[in-house]
């Protein structure tokens, strides 16, 4: 089933600026991993911002499950349906991994029972053991922090996962581990996973690749 349908999607920063996103008609379906590739400045992060509802299209529309997201309550849309993993992770460094995940459940406003146990289970599922789950973020490696960021996003059960360069700065083996997590989320749990990447390996491991081109003035 299609999760997102883009209809002639356009976006420009400021009314007299050139389009960064120009007439896109992509479709994203559930149970698949997508890679968005393209040169620096092509509009990849901008496209993720549009899909996450953080910015609204200048022209055209994005349908989520058939509904125009610019007409949905943005808070409800973001806290219920989409999980965004930013490149900088945005974790709180002085809290433990478990505390970061519990905090995101609290913020989502969803009724979740046994938050601490659920957080620990999610962290285990992305390959972090209990000792690591109890450590503060500032004492974790980049790859471990990346896993905490994924567990945190999964904590409120979004249908869509958007991730900006999720494997940037990771070694090959850790990168493969992270990609396997995304593949399981799509293929076993039916989620729609959309990754922005500069890595040909990540692109090759996904089910579908969309390439954005840099727009000339």
Q: For residues 145 and 138, what is the distance between their CA atoms, to the nearest angstrom? A: 9
Minimum separation from the CB atom of position 44 to Mg ion (A): 5
- Residue 75 within binding range of ligand ATP, rule CB under 6 A: no
Q: Rule CB under 5 A: which of 10-49 touch Mg ion?
A: 44-45
Q: Which residue is nearest to Mg ion (CB)?
A: 45
By the rule CB under 6 A, 58 interacts with ligand ATP: no
Minimum distance of ligand ATP from residue 132's CB (angstroms): 29
Which residues touch 88 (CB under 8 Å, ≥6 apart)?
Answer: none
Q: Dihedral, CA atoms, 49, 164, 194, 179, nearest 10 degrees?
A: -170
Minimal distance in Å, beta carbon 165 to ligand ATP? 7
Partner touching 43 among ligand ATP, Mg ion, none, CB below 5 to 8 Å by kind: ligand ATP
Query: In the Cβ-directed half-sphere of 145, how many Cα atoms lie within 13 Å?
Result: 20
Task: Count the site residues for Mg ion by CB under 5 A.
Answer: 2
The interface region with ligand ATP, picked from 33-41, 73-81, 131-139, 201-209 by CB under 6 A, is: 33-41
Q: Which does 13 bind (CB under 5 to 8 A by kind): ligand ATP, Mg ion, none?
A: ligand ATP
Nearest to 135 by CA among 166, 93, 102: 93
Residue among 46 and 175 whose Cβ is closer to ligand ATP: 46
3, 5, 22, 46: which one contacts ligand ATP (CB under 6 A)? Answer: 46
Instruction: Give 44 or 78: the residue with its C-beta nearer to Mg ion.
Output: 44
Distance (Å, rounded) from C-alpha 192 to C-alpha 4? 9
Nearest to 33 by CA among 198, 215, 189: 189
d(C-alpha 48, C-alpha 210), whole Å: 13
Is residue 44 at the binding interface for ligand ATP, with CB under 6 A as the rule? yes
Q: Does 12 bind ligand ATP (CB under 6 A)?
A: no
Q: Which residues contact 3 (CB under 8 A, 6 or more apart)?
A: 28, 29, 30, 64, 65, 159, 160, 192
| Residue 45 or 70 with smaller CB distance to Mg ion | 45
Can you give the C-alpha Rg of the chain in angstroms?
17
Binding site for ligand ATP (CB under 6 A): 13, 20, 38, 40-46
Binding site for Mg ion (CB under 5 A): 44-45
């Amino acid at each position: 089933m299609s999760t997102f349908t883009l209809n002639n999607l356009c976006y420009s920063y400021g009314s007299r600026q050139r389009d960064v996103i120009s007439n896109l008609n992509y479709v994203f379906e559930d149970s698949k991993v997508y890679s968005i590739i393209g040169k620096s400045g092509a509009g990849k992060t901008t496209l993720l911002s549009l899909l996450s509802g953080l910015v609204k299209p200048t022209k055209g529309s994005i349908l989520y499950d058939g509904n125009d997201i610019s007409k949905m309550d943005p808070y409800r849309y973001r806290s219920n349906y989409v999980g965004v993993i930013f490149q900088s992770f945005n974790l709180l460094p002085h809290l433990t991994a478990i505390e970061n995940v519990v905090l995101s459940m609290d913020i989502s406003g969803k009724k979740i029972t046994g938050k601490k146990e659920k957080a620990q289970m999610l962290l285990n599922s992305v390959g972090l053991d209990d000792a690591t789950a109890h450590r503060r973020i500032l004492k974790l490696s980049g790859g471990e922090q990346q896993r905490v960021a994924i567990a945190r996003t999964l904590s409120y059960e979004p249908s869509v996962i958007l991730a900006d360069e999720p494997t940037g700065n990771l070694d090959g083996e850790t990168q493969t581990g992270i990609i396997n997590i995304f593949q399981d989320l799509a293929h076993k749990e039916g989620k729609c996973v959309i990754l922005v990447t500069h890595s040909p390996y990540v692109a090759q491991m996904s089910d579908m690749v969309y390439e954005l081109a840099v727009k000339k003035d």
